[in-house]
Amino acid sequence: MTLEYMDPTLPPLIPTVNPKCSFVVLREDFACTLGFPPASVDYSPPPDCPAPWSRVILELSASASDVQMDRIAAIWVDGAEILRTSTPLPMAPGVFWRVRKDVTRYTALLRSATTFSMMLENSNATLPGVYSVNVSLHFYRGALSDDAGRNPSLKLPTSAHTNEQLGSRRLSAHPTIKGLYREPADLIIPISNELGDCGPGYWFKIHNESDVQLTTVLIPNNTYRAVLEIYVSHHGDDEYWYANPLRMNGPRGGLMSPSSKANGGFRQVVVTIDKRFAGAVVPFPVIYPGSINPFFWAPVAAIGAYDHPSYDLDLTPFVGKLLDGPEHHFGLTVRDSQPYWLVSANLHLWLDAWSDGVEGALVRYKVPPLKLSRQADWRERDGKSSIDGQVIIRFSGWVSSSKGNITTSVKQRLKFKSRVEVHRRGSIKQASMEVKSRTNVRTEKNHKVIGRVQVETEAPLLMETMSSNGGGGSVFEKTKMYHELQETTSVAVGKEVAYSTMTDRQDSEGSALMEDGVAMWGSGDTKSTYKFRDDKACYLRTVVMVGGRRDFADTVGSPPATANYTQPPDCPAPWTRVVLELSLSVSNVQRDRVAAVWVNGAEVLRTTTPLSTSPGGAFWKVHKDVTRYTTLLRHYGDAGTLTMRLENSNIASSPGVFSANVSLHFYRGAVPIARPAAIGTAHPTVKGLYREPADLIIPISCEKGAEGGGFWLLVNNDSHVPAASVTIPRNTYRAVIEIFSSYHADDEFWYTNPLRSSFQGDLGASRANGGFRQLYATVDGKFVGGHIPFAVIYPGSLNPYFWSPVTAIGAFDIPSYDLDITPFLGLLLDGQPHEIGLGVKDSQPYWLLSGNLHLWVDAWSDVVEAGLVEYSSPPLKINRHAEWRNLDGQSEVDAEGLIRFSGWVSSSKGNITTTVRQKVKFKSQVEVQNRGAVKHVEMMNKERTTVGLAKGHQAMGRVQLFIEAPLQVQTSSVNAVGGAVFQKTRMYHQLQEILNLNENMAVSTSSLTDRQDAEGSVLMHDGEPVWGSGSTRSSYKYRDENTCYLRTVNAAGGVVKFDVASPQCSAVAVA
């Protein structure tokens, strides 16, 4: 099984979708690396995009080949740590995961040639898993997308800048941009193990609180600001420190670690300068993937497990002490610790380029002892204990530089409590912990506050475990857990303020059978919710796991999977964008399947699955902008229903089980499009006919879809036109029908179908009626528009080896088709039910259709009036020609037509006439030679659809969409042994769309070209691939007046050979 593990957090804030440049820094397999030094490689900054960069993103992509323990890992640059992470606990082969982290704050390390190092101690002596890791860097330029179109750049919070220095630049409290790093430091000095490159890594190993690790540091004389960043992780006897009870005698051990000393659940990382206290933090209790119940963390990781938090201490008040000439000793330790902790730190320094030396002094140092109250009451194995503590510390110091004499004051308040209770002779254990901290950093100049950063953190944890004898020395454990991290950040410079809140919460419940501390089997349900909000955006992601995943095993004939849905209470409408994410995996060999997602019976996604030819399975993701369905997502009280249909059969020859997660991402804030606000966007993910989401969406689908085979309508031939009865509001002023479609069985290869009265070949369907099909809609039996569908090639079609790992155009997000029926509102606004029908001209069994009727309602009128003034819909001119002699011959189908509809609607917006004009030109040619052994297919579809709006005789706006879709397929076949057939196929396929939007004097234009060229061979037996090969070149290009995006991917033999994205749309050289 191939399964992606994930951490549902906020994506990094980046200027554009595509980096200026990217490259892989390190590739390494970690097999048996215990006791070995870190893997190290030389690094040089990219010569084709040197600094400065607006953002740098580190991406770690990793996989585990087989079962393995969870491991700790870290990445250093020249000895300075930039990522601390842990691996999943792979319980089956095929686990992989990614970590993306904003590392812009380490720019000073990345500007020059240096060394990249990674430590991942692994042993495959007992468990065979090998970790394979790629580390990449992505460099970005340009204004950050959060401010694109509004501000030239985004500035961060705490440097002392006046309003004049800020100008129009904007603050940010975005959590992926650390509050204390308004601008990257000029110099970073590692506080780490100097022998890291030849020993066990650059981290310090701390065994107890008296084990103080020291580093000697000499800082430049022109340093005017300093921040210490601390990385930390807990291991051995202290892996479960957060659940450790307090007792003076009796049995050792916490809830999970029997060997640990029961000294309570308080730990604090302490920093000293020349043996003098300079700051401390209580670390967030990161739960490792193998901890508590490993089945909680598959496939969603515990909070912080893949990107361990680092902790910042502003040491600027101490700069005066550090500038006195001699070296100084920085110390790191962990209070109350047990063996062992891995700790390192980075000293970020900002230098005054206009001064050789600056002056400073520490003027306030108030560090009262941390007041800890420890209580314990135990009787043998049962009892309870608690630790409470709080403290307020204050530092102030001034630094005189070319920026002026600036005083920095730091105030930190900490409040901590830990509770542990054990009942029933140790079989019931409860642990709770809560840490609250508030850090204030204030800068003053001439007794005037010029900047402030405040970060409030709250981290509650609650666990309950019930244990019983599992037999044979095993223990059966049932566990409930609640864990949360809340951060509130406010930054201010002068009168400018930025504010954000972040909440990351997990609720888990499950059981596991443990032997010698290892989970033998079990289950776990986890709900993960990540929410971020600031003045520009709202991001909410919720992932619910049941037993680790939602499965589609043997679902043929079963009702769809359903779930209740309500809009997120912490992030209610309105939203500027809503994006649906479908994450899927398949566990083993399996056929390609069709699937769909509906909200309240209205389809929002039609997709296909890959054809999995490997026992290791496959995984993939689909992202789709679903903003147009906003009205379906605005459920306030009563829950709506989200439904997914994926018919699968896991018989012996195809045992694969599909696992799916459906997520919704809600966004707020202006969409970064630099064009007049009055005009819509021609971006391809924002449909031209949906400038604003509809007020009402009525499904044209099967009413009992949730009880049977899904909401789609089954169409068997062109005389079969299923319909839905619809009554629309009488104040509707605009209407669009959206049609979803897919084709199957006899019509799966309609686009290669020849024309003849009888045909025995396998190129087309059983009835050779030609390669023309047209989707259409009717109102009370009256034709109201149609489209020739784009020929989506399914993953199991033509040559399945073409589509691994790059899918055919549209296969993962099958296109829908829009028909503006506003001219027909005069027929629909009588308050009576009307029949909306959907059909496919020339179709054979079978097609799956569904539709959504998008309606815009006039809030200022109870009733509007409308009339149809022009209806010109002559039949398509279809010419059919065929010449055949036995198996060989040729056929051609040509179709051409022009339709025009016009109608007026009188509402509070005025009397507006909508005119729809569509021109279609289609050609299909099929040629068969060499007694059916050579088959050549060509198809071309051209459509131009124009929707114009006029008030009186004055044009108000126009949408024009031009589509061109050529397809060429050539197949040569040779009979092989045992009834098999050897096929060689070449294919060229393309979708080109040009969209023009006009509104008054504003214009927006875009063009999209999606092209694929494929060549390969396959041995087929009984219609199934036995073996084969394929190479595919995919090129996607999009351009509008603001953006240009080009991506080229070459794949061969199931492997991506070349993948380059160019944000400038420059020509991509293919190796």
Give the DSSP letter of residue 872. E
What are the phi and psi torsion angles at 742 (to 5°)? -155, 155
Pairing of strands 328-335, 213-217: antiparallel
In a domain? residue 301: yes
Tokens in use for 472? 């044979």
Q: Which amino acid is at 843?
A: S
Closest Cα partner for 210 from 270, 123, 135?
Answer: 270
Give me the pLDDT at residue 249, please: 61
Q: Decide which of 548, 572, 591 is a domain's last residue.
A: 548
Strands, E, within 516-571: which ranges?
A: 518-534, 538-546, 550-552, 561-565
Same domain membership, residue 880 and residue 996: yes
Tokens in use for 502? 């972040």
Query: Would you say 267 and 334 are in contact if contact means Cβ atoms under 8 Å apart?
Result: yes
Same domain membership, residue 644 and residue 537: no
Residue 153: is its pLDDT beyond 50?
no
Question: Averaged over 572-593, what is the pLDDT?
Answer: 86
Residue 549: is its pLDDT beyond 50?
no
**SS3 at position 256:** coil
Closest Cα partner for 989 from 1056, 944, 1036?
Answer: 1036
Which tens digit of pLDDT belongs to each residue from 187-210?
999 999 998 877 889 999 999 999
In a domain? residue 556: no
Same domain membership, residue 511 and residue 625: no
Where is average pLDDT lowest: 172-181, 641-650, 846-855? Answer: 172-181
Tokens in use for 846? 């079978």
Q: Decide which of 523, 548, 573 is a domain's last residue.
A: 548
Residue 489: is its pLDDT beyond 70?
yes
Closest Cα partner for 973 from 1002, 934, 1016, 1025?
Answer: 934
Give me the pLDDT at residue 953, please: 86
- Please name the residues in contact with 249: beta carbons below 8 A apart, sequence gap of 6 or more: none
In a domain? residue 988: yes
The band of 685, judged by pLDDT with boundaries at 50, 70 and 90, is low
CA distances from 912 to 823, 855, 870, 948, 950 (A): 10, 16, 14, 10, 6
Rounded Cα distance between 1034 and 1021, Å, is: 28
Pairing of strands 3-5, 95-102: parallel
Where is average pLDDT lowest: 62-76, 95-109, 139-153, 1007-1021? Answer: 139-153
The Cβ of residue 136 has, within 10 Å, a number of other Cβ atoms equal to: 17
Closest Cα partner for 799 from 761, 752, 842?
Answer: 752
Give me the pLDDT at residue 71, please: 96
Residue 771: is its pLDDT beyond 70?
yes
Which tens digit of pLDDT belongs to each residue from 705-758?
777 778 999 999 999 999 999 999 999 999 999 999 999 999 999 999 999 865
DSSP for 649-715, please give it: ---TT----EEEEEEEEEE-S-----S-TTS----TTS-TT-SS--SEEEEES-TTTTTTT-SPEEE
Residue 169: is its pLDDT beyond 60?
no
Q: Which amino acid is at 457?
A: T
Q: Which amino acid is at 994?
A: I
CB burial of residue 261 (10 Å; 0-12, 13-18, 19+): middle
The structural domain count of the chain equals 2
Same domain membership, residue 429 and residue 297: yes
Question: Averaged over 614-618, what is the pLDDT?
Answer: 73
Same domain membership, residue 1048 and residue 913: yes
Which tens digit of pLDDT belongs to each residue from 22-57?
989 999 999 999 989 999 999 999 998 999 999 999
Query: Would you say 1002 and 676 are in contact if contact means Cβ atoms under 8 Å apart?
Result: yes
Closest Cα partner for 245 from 263, 220, 227, 226?
Answer: 263
Rounded Cα distance between 923 and 59, Å, is: 47
Residue 1025: is its pLDDT beyond 70?
yes
In a domain? residue 589: no
Share of the chain above pLDDT 90, in %: 65
Tokens in use for 361? 């002094």
- Max mean pLDDT among 176-190, 676-690, 983-997 falls in 983-997
Query: Would you say 1037 and 1066 are in contact if contact means Cβ atoms under 8 Å apart?
Result: no
Rounded Cα distance between 247 and 250, Å, is: 7
- Please name the residues in contact with 283: beta carbons below 8 A apart, sequence gap of 6 or more: 232, 234, 267, 269, 309, 311
Between residues 49 and 278, the one the model is more confident about: 278
3-state SS of 914-933 is EEEEEEEEEEEEEEEECCCC
Same domain membership, residue 535 and residue 675: no
**SS3 at position 752:** helix
Query: Would you say 319 and 223 are in contact if contact means Cβ atoms under 8 Å apart?
Result: yes
The band of 167, judged by pLDDT with boundaries at 50, 70 and 90, is very low
Rounded Cα distance between 447 and 841, Å, is: 80
CB burial of residue 357 (10 Å; 0-12, 13-18, 19+): exposed
Which tens digit of pLDDT belongs to each residue from 427-442?
999 999 999 999 999 9
Alpha helices (H) in 852-977, listed in sequence order: none
Which tens digit of pLDDT belongs to each residue from 845-884?
999 999 999 999 999 999 999 999 999 999 999 999 999 9
The band of 987, judged by pLDDT with boundaries at 50, 70 and 90, is very high
Same domain membership, residue 720 and residue 859: yes
Same domain membership, residue 1029 and residue 887: yes
The Cβ of residue 329 has, within 10 Å, a number of other Cβ atoms equal to: 14
Tokens in use for 233? 């992780």
Residue 158: is its pLDDT beyond 60?
no
Residue 2: is its pLDDT beyond 60?
no
Give me the pLDDT at residue 658, please: 86
Question: Averaged over 215-228, what is the pLDDT?
Answer: 96
Rounded Cα distance between 1040 and 685, Å, is: 13
Where is average pLDDT lowest: 361-375, 560-574, 702-716, 754-768? Answer: 754-768
Element (H, E) at 778: strand 774-779
Which tens digit of pLDDT belongs to each residue from 921-950?
999 999 999 999 999 999 999 999 999 999
Give me the pLDDT at residue 559, please: 83
Where is average pLDDT lowest: 229-233, 359-363, 470-474, 491-495? Answer: 470-474
Rounded Cα distance between 687 and 1009, Å, is: 16
Q: Decide which of 517, 548, 579 is a domain's last residue.
A: 548
- Please name the residues in contact with 803: beta carbons below 8 A apart, sequence gap of 6 or more: 610, 611, 793, 795, 811, 1030, 1032
**SS3 at position 68:** coil
Residue 675: is its pLDDT beyond 50?
no
Question: Averaged over 973-984, what is the pLDDT?
Answer: 91
Residue 532: is its pLDDT beyond 50?
yes
In a domain? residue 211: yes
Same domain membership, residue 491 and residue 363: yes
Question: Averaged over 889-916, what is the pLDDT?
Answer: 97
Give me the pLDDT at residue 358, please: 95
Question: Averaged over 228-250, what is the pLDDT?
Answer: 90
Give me the pLDDT at residue 672, please: 52
Same domain membership, residue 774 and residue 896: yes
Which tens digit of pLDDT belongs to each residue from 283-311?
999 999 999 999 899 888 999 999 999 99
Q: What is the pTM (predicted TM-score) of this model?
A: 0.65
Same domain membership, residue 507 and residue 645: no
**C-alpha radius of gyration, the chain, whole number:** 32
In a domain? residue 332: yes
In a domain? residue 579: no
Rounded Cα distance between 918 and 923, Å, is: 17
In a domain? residue 563: no
- Please name the residues in contact with 69: beta carbons below 8 A apart, sequence gap of 6 or more: 89, 127, 290
Rounded Cα distance between 31 and 123, Å, is: 6
Give the DSSP letter of residue 148. T
Tokens in use for 635? 């459920």
Query: Would you say 819 and 786 are in contact if contact means Cβ atoms under 8 Å apart?
Result: yes
Same domain membership, residue 998 and residue 899: yes
How does the average pLDDT of the chain come out, rounded? 88
Domain that holds residue 75: 3-548
The band of 615, judged by pLDDT with boundaries at 50, 70 and 90, is confident
Q: Tell how far CA 88 is from the center of its chain.
A: 18
